[in-house]
Structures are given as structure tokens and as C-alpha cells.
Amino acid sequence: MYRFTVTWIGAVICLAACDRPDSRPSHPEMAGAGVRLVVPGDSSQPAAPSTPAAPTDVSSFCGIARPQHLALVLDSTARDPRIALGSDTHSVVLPAPMHRALMARAPGFRLWQPREYLTDIGRYAGPWVNERPTGYEFNERQALSVVIGDFNGDGRADVVLHGVGDSLLLEAALLSHADSLQFVELGAVPGNRWATPCIGGYLAFIPPGRYSSVEHELEAEELLLATDAFSSVSFEKSSEIYYWREGQFLRYATGD
């Protein structure tokens, strides 16, 4: 059974967990601010994009029971991204500018699916209550490979996505602005599949508040968050909070 050094903080899929040397992305101490894109409107109707197939050689250790699928959906009428919860499918709805920017960088992009994650994430990745884990919680803020939040504090919803396109493994944040969209690339590796059968890390929403790993000697000071953030935890690996400050994502270690 796995237990983290933080109380309930979940996590971002870290491509550095890949075992192959050529599958390891570079994560600088401060992720770059990305490129701001001014994207015109789109008159197309809501539609689900075509996506590459998921790996078929998953082991018995892979597969979270519910939901069975995460669908990436284009909605040209949407102003902000959102997660629509369902019994077997959770839909990640993207406005046209976000969807277009994502597909331009990684054509055929799809989210990592629940069946591709370690089964134990569904059992032991949540907060502990009475010494028992509650499991990963799917909600309108988080769904394993996606987190919705107002990371830059402008009152508009932003989204962080982890997945794979036709030829690129991609971690990216799409930040809304009044008249533009900012694409922040957190990691990109050529390829079309995960290096190992099961994905051992996941994304989780982090609300504003105070966080500290000083007692574990991971950071020198506590972190005071005034805006939403997201976290990345990998089993038996590091966990970090990613937060937006002064035009870039910074990282705060919460476990190792």
C-alpha cells in the first residue's frame, strides 16, 4: 500500500517517470511562460476529435474501474473549459481556441485514459480518513489527466492536460486571457505511447491556501497560494505543486 508524505495532495503525470532515456522530458526549475496566442473565433459545431488508440498490452495492474473513459470534446459555444461528469465517461469540454491550439501542437491529441493508470491510484491516491485511503476523486476540478482551475487569477477557468497525439506525448497548460490564449508547454516527448504498461502518476486540483513541506526538509519555507494550482504525484517518486507566479509556473516539492 502506498502512502504519501502529504495529506491529500494528488498529482500531475510526470513524463520523467518513463523508463526509457529517450522518453524523459526536460523540466526546468521554472517552467517557461509559453507563447500567448491570439486566436479568432470558430463557427464549427461541438464534436469529439479523432484520437490515437490506447495501448493494448496493459497488465493486470492497470485500469481504474470508473469512469471507463475520458472524452475530449470541442464546444464552439463554450467560453471556458469544464469537466462534465458521467457514469462511464467524463467529458473534458474545450472552447474552440483552446481545442485549436492543442491540436495544432499535437494533432490527434487524447487524454490518458483511466484504463492506462495503475489500479492502485484508484485505491490509495486519495486523502486518508481513519487510517483508510478514500481513493482518487473525480470531480469538476480534476480527472486524472486534466485539472480545471483559475491558475493565473484573472477570474477565467484554465486547464492543464496530459496526454498523447499522433506523434507527441504532451503536458500543457492553456491559460485564458481577456483577448488571447496562452499555451504553456510543460513537457513534450516524441512518440505515440507510454513507455511502460501502466501510468504511475496523476493530476489533482490544489485550492488556494497554505502548504508546507518544511518539516520534511524539502522546502525552506511554506507556500502561500493566492490562486488555484495543480499538483503532480507519482508513486514512489516525487510530488510537486505547480503554481503560476510572475508569468510562469513554479514548483514546490511536497514529497519524494
Query: What is the per-residue pLDDT across 46-70, written as a single tens digit (0 to 9) for each?
Result: 444 444 445 444 556 798 878 999 9
Q: Give pLDDT, residue 194.
A: 86
Q: Which triple of cell numbers denotes residue 153?
A: 487569477
CB 115 within 8 A of CB 185: no
Model confidence at 8, pLDDT cuts 50, 70, 90, reads very low
Contacts of 200 (CB under 8 A, 6+ apart): 17, 117, 118, 121, 234, 235, 236, 237
Most confident of 16-30, 37-51, 61-75: 61-75
Contacts of 52 (CB under 8 A, 6+ apart): 108, 110, 164, 165, 166, 192
Contacts of 56 (CB under 8 A, 6+ apart): none
What is d(CA 108, CA 51) in angstroms, rounded to the nearest whole number? 5
What is d(CA 225, CA 246) in angstroms, rounded to the nearest whole number? 13
Q: Give pLDDT, residue 216.
A: 87
Q: Give pLDDT, residue 64.
A: 85
Most confident of 8-12, 16-20, 95-99, 125-129: 95-99
Most confident of 58-67, 121-130, 134-143: 134-143
Model confidence at 1, pLDDT cuts 50, 70, 90, reads very low
Range in 6-20, 81-95, 221-235 with the lowest mean pLDDT: 6-20
pLDDT, average across residues 198-218: 93
Percent of the chain at pLDDT above 90? 57
What is d(CA 192, CA 231) in angstroms, rounded to the nearest whole number? 24
Residue 122 has pLDDT above 80, yes or no: no
pLDDT, average across residues 71-87: 97
Rg for the chain, CA atoms, rounded: 17
What is d(CA 243, CA 110) in angstroms, rounded to the nearest whole number? 24
Range in 26-35, 42-51, 100-109, 148-157 with the lowest mean pLDDT: 26-35
What is d(CA 80, CA 140) in angstroms, rounded to the nearest whole number? 13
